[in-house]
Amino acid sequence: MKIIIKFSKVGSMKFIGHLDLMRYFQKCFRRANVPIAMSKGFSPHQILSFASPLGVGVTSEGDYLDAMLDTEDESYINKLKEDLNEVLNDEIRVVEIRRVADEVKSSMSLLCACDYVIGLKDVKVNEENKVLLNKDFIKAKLKCYLSQPEILVTKKTKKSTKEINIKDYIYTITESVSALSEYTGLSYDNILESTSDSKAVIALRVTAGSSINIKPELIMEDFVKFLNIEYSNLEYQIHRLNMYRDKNFKKGELHTLNTEIICDPVAIYEY
């Protein structure tokens, strides 16, 4: 039985890297006596994968983990959530678990977009950047920012550095989570408000996935510089709200709001 686990990751656990998080879940599955399927061969391992690795320092209330279980009993799913939350710490919690068909592709291969909220840390507020907490100011400036014919940012990889136009990969940028909710028609728990000493500056939906993956910090840096404010990534807290797959998904095609086939995002575990 294939399942998708939606989980949150906040507090000090934001400093745990992707590989350590993988090992942590593997240990928790063993502690909870989960009948997880194992790979074949000389070195069997648990069959599980994450939709998209979360950067160190980034928190989330909408991350996803795929896993295969050695059982076909759907009633076990409700018990599984309780069992996992008993062995997980308070800063990583299972939000929901759903069964999907075994033939469904991995969440990583289906990922098309992510929602984020970016907050300014309370201890980093100063005379120059405190204007970022003015919602009316941010709303007006975002309108100017998004009206640019191009939004050019410098993207660094392990092998090179190149300038790319990311305008087509931005679904929306708003001045608050509630404004993003109005755009998407979805509600967010926004755990960030209760678990972090920061205040939201912008909320956004951007393209994500194996083909194109737009990091929210790239947009935040460019927007802050657009406002002629000095930028430091240590001043901001990034929080992932949710992740999406494309209902119009076709292998080898990238869909955005400006392609012939428009991307139609839906939460990864919605089938």
What pLDDT tens digit does each residue of the chain (271 aa) get? 999 999 999 999 999 999 999 999 999 999 999 999 998 888 888 999 999 999 999 999 999 999 999 988 888 998 999 999 999 999 999 999 999 988 888 888 889 899 999 999 998 989 999 999 999 999 999 999 999 999 999 887 777 788 889 998 999 999 999 999 898 888 887 777 666 788 889 999 999 988 888 999 999 999 999 999 999 999 999 999 999 988 777 776 666 666 767 777 888 877 6
Which CATH class for the 2-104 domain?
A: alpha beta
What is the DSSP pairing of strand 170-174 with strand 161-165? unpaired
Return d(Cα 196, Cα 208) in angstroms, integer.
25
Neighbours of 223 (CB within 10 A): 23
Return d(Cα 107, Cα 6) in angstroms, integer.
11
Residues in the chain, overall count: 271
Domain ranges of the chain: 2-104, 110-267
CA dist 175 → 119, 122, 130, 198, 211 (Å): 11, 17, 14, 15, 28
Return d(Cα 179, Cα 174) in angstroms, integer.
6
Return d(Cα 184, Cα 241) in angstroms, integer.
12
8 Å CB contact between 181 and 187: yes
